[in-house]
Amino acid sequence: MKSPSPDSLKLVKEFGRPSIPFGVARVPNAGRVFFGSSDFNVSEADVTAAKFEAKDLYKHESYVTTVALAGTTLISGGYDGKMTWYDTVKNEVLRTTDAHAKWIRRIVANAEGTVVASVADDMVCKLWDAKTGKMIRELKGHEEKTPQHFNSMLYAVAFSADGKMLVTGDKVGHVVVWETETGKSLGTLEAPTMYTWDKAQRLHSIGGIRSVAFSPDGTQVAVGGMGKVGNIDHLEGKARIEVFDWKSPAKPLVELQSDKFAGLVNQLRFAPDGAWLLGAGGAGEGFFLFVDVAAKKLVKQEKTSAHIHDMVLSAKADTITFAGHNKLAVYSMG
């Protein structure tokens, strides 16, 4: 099926929130969404209802930074290092585990909803059985310290469409492609432009790989972040996307920086047929960036009403649901 054109992008609804939603998941072919926020709550709502009413389901001990759906099970993670598993049919918490030693940045599920991957600032990617919550294995391929001997961070993880591979990306621009079944490293690539170290002013760094995605056929890996920064106290680097043939990673196939937006590309999604790549993120304002990978160009840059932290692209690529700064929003295409 041909994916809809980015030119048809249209805002459908947006909903203000008193807290900051960092992670969002949406039940396929339904209006039911789940989101985790800065108020420590995991909540749900129906974005198709005439009146938006959010219901708090359970709490973490700190910010809830990520949520994912594995079939009918919702898994959340946060700054507290804990993962909570919630049955969305029975509406009950199944378990809470001390999953990571540091801040959990991202949780994702494979397409079948059988395996869940989590990454955190302990620099470990963990694979979990989605049904039982039992850890399958740990993947360790990222250094705990930056080259300047400060703590690093592991921001991003994504499965390939067939679930046979996953990819992880960290603060200094190091990316690893893994075989899911064995945990074997299949290859690495580097995107150092997305990491800025200021040795003169602050002895501090900013940036990193904030998002990763496989192309539908699994041959390419896209990474998102921002370009080099002058004042590292601000997200002033240009929004940046690079795409690699991960089996020949010496040089990116595509290197693009927005000429309209600064800030981090926090999320990346390929259209199911590979017609385009969508990046979303922000700094002082939010944005969507649509990339024609074959043509190596940005084909649409759209301002959004909030800095985007997370998004869900529907299976037909006709609906985008995002969690942003004090806001949830729904867009349509086609």
In a domain, 198, yes or no: yes
- Domain count across the chain: 1
Question: Rounded to whole angstroms, how far apart are CA atoms 309 and 105?
Answer: 11
- What is the structure's pLDDT at 163? 98
Count other Cβ atoms within 10 Å, centred on residue 275: 19
For residues 48, 50, 56, 60, the Cα torsion angle rounded to the nearest 10 degrees is 40
Distance, first Cα to last Cα, the chain: 12
Tell me if 232 is assigned to some domain. yes
Q: Is the pLDDT of residue 244 over 90?
A: yes
Reply yes or no on whether the pLDDT at 204 is more than 80. Answer: no
**For residue 317, is it within any domain?**
no
The answer to the question of residue 2 being in a domain is no
CATH of the domain at 235: 2.130.10.10
Sign, Cα dihedral of 202, 308, 121, 243: negative
> Which residue range forms the structural domain that includes residue 146?
141-295
Is residue 334 assigned to a domain?
no
Whether residue 128 is contained in a domain is answered as no
Average pLDDT over residues 246-254: 94
Residue 24 lies in a domain: no
Q: Which residues of 209-234 are buried (b: 16+ CB within 10 A; e: fewer)?
A: bbbbbbbbebebbbbbbbbbbeebee
Tokens 């930056």 correspond to 146
**Percent of the chain at pLDDT exceeding 90:** 91
pLDDT over 80 (residue 216): yes
Answer yes or no: is 92 within a domain: no
pLDDT of 155 higher than 70: yes
pLDDT at 235: 74
260, amino acid identity: K
The percentage of the chain sitting over the pLDDT mark of 70, rounded to a whole number, equals: 98
The separation between CA 299 and the C-alpha centre of its own chain, rounded to angstroms, equals 22
Burial class for 187, CB neighbours closer than 10 Å (0-12, 13-18, 19+): middle
